[in-house]
Amino acid sequence: MLPKIKVFSWRIGQNILPTFDNIARLRQDFNNFCPRCNRGEETLIHAMKNYPKAREILAAGGLNNRLLEGDHKNCIDWLEDVFRELDKQQQIF
């Protein structure tokens, strides 16, 4: 695995990517709504799964609707489900 991917994965697991929600926790006057879609708070799960453009890319990549529509509260739980599903798909082929 590439070092960049390891670091990115670690940052996801620690929820330390600079999302607007994380910045708002540090700065009280900071607006945490997504500046791109204005459909909700820009949390990590929003940026990785719920943001409309991210959903388009994930769907184009073959991610099934159950994983896109699931109600995951944090990103690491969602990623675990994604990897579990990808492992199942590999076993079929």
Residue 34 has pLDDT above 60, yes or no: yes
C-beta separation of 48 from 75 below 8 A: yes
The b/e string for 6-15 (b: 16+ C-beta within 10 A; e otherwise) is eeeeeebeee
Residue carrying structure tokens 């690491």: 76
Higher pLDDT residue, 70 or 82? Answer: 82
With bands split at pLDDT 50, 70 and 90, how would you rate the model's confidence at 38? very high
CB-count exposure of residue 78 (10 Å: 0-12, 13-18, 19+): buried
Residue 50 has pLDDT above 70, yes or no: yes
Residues 4-24, mean pLDDT to the nearest whole number: 94
With bands split at pLDDT 50, 70 and 90, how would you rate the model's confidence at 93? low
Residues 36-50, mean pLDDT to the nearest whole number: 94
Distance from C-alpha of 52 to C-alpha of 57, rounded to nearest angstrom: 9
